[in-house]
Amino acid sequence: MAIVCRRCGRQYDVTLFQFGRSITCECGERLPRQAETRVGMEQAEAESAGVGYLTPVTDEDLLLYVIRHGQTVWNKSGRLQGQLDIELSDDGRAEAARVAGALAGVTFEAAYSSDLKRCVETAEIILSGRDVPLFKTPALREEDYGEWAGKNYAEIARRWPEQCAARERDRANSRPEGGESLGEVQARVTAKLDEIAAKYSRGNVLVVTHGGPAFVFFSKVMAPEGKLKGNFSVKNCTINVVAHTRFGWKLQSLNSLSP
């Protein structure tokens, strides 16, 4: 697929337009890209998640590269980690190294990470050899699962059937025993990312967090009224890009293996 300059007719391959950033033709005409954002996603998953079309962004906008941490042994066995401080597995470290290679050509102004070990180590692997400041913050932690932490889904459903049913009815406001709701996670994560956007008005910032915070923030981006929508999950060590433009937050890619 090619983008054609309206002024002189020159053609440019769409791969030159990183996430909708415009380039300038040899004749001086600026060429914004507008193309489908189904990078790394099957069509049905994209439609279910509510991802439709790339919003054109410019060099004046901010791009957040949001990465879910690499895999842990608990991820593989299906145990909820929540805010328990579980470290990466060897597979998770290999995943983070792959992301480091994929993002080698991206210059970051700064990086932010959940202060839990699995995120910090993922960020450190991605940033290895770079002079990029890394800020660790509890605002990007996983949901506090309370009594559910350390349990698998089958045990949770058996021991807390009423709470599980309440969560199905109201994903935003129900909470595990002793934990927090997804609505509360969405509020703290969105506040932190809005703060980052206010500090860095343009360029690229790396954000390493967890599956829950990434899901609720992307839901907020796709449904500004805050509804937790979409039947999708954010996979370990995939590359997800969100642009902060004059129109607000816009999701650019989901579960991609390359920038």
**Positions marked active-site:** 69, 142
* Residue whose entry in the numeric block shows the structure tokens 């940033």: 127
| 21 SS3 class | strand
End-to-end CA separation in angstroms for the chain:
18
The residue type at 195:
E
CA distance linking residue 77 with residue 79, whole number of Å: 6
Phi/psi at 111 (5° precision)? -135, 145
Q: In this structure, what DSSP letter does residue 161 have?
A: H
Closest residue by Cα to residue 168 from 179, 154, 182? 182
CA distance linking residue 218 with residue 59, whole number of Å: 22
Closest residue by Cα to residue 192 from 248, 136, 120? 136
Within its chain, how far is the Cα of 73 from the centroid? 21
Q: Tokens representing 149?
A: 């932490």
Cα dihedral across residues 153, 256, 42, 19: positive or negative:
positive
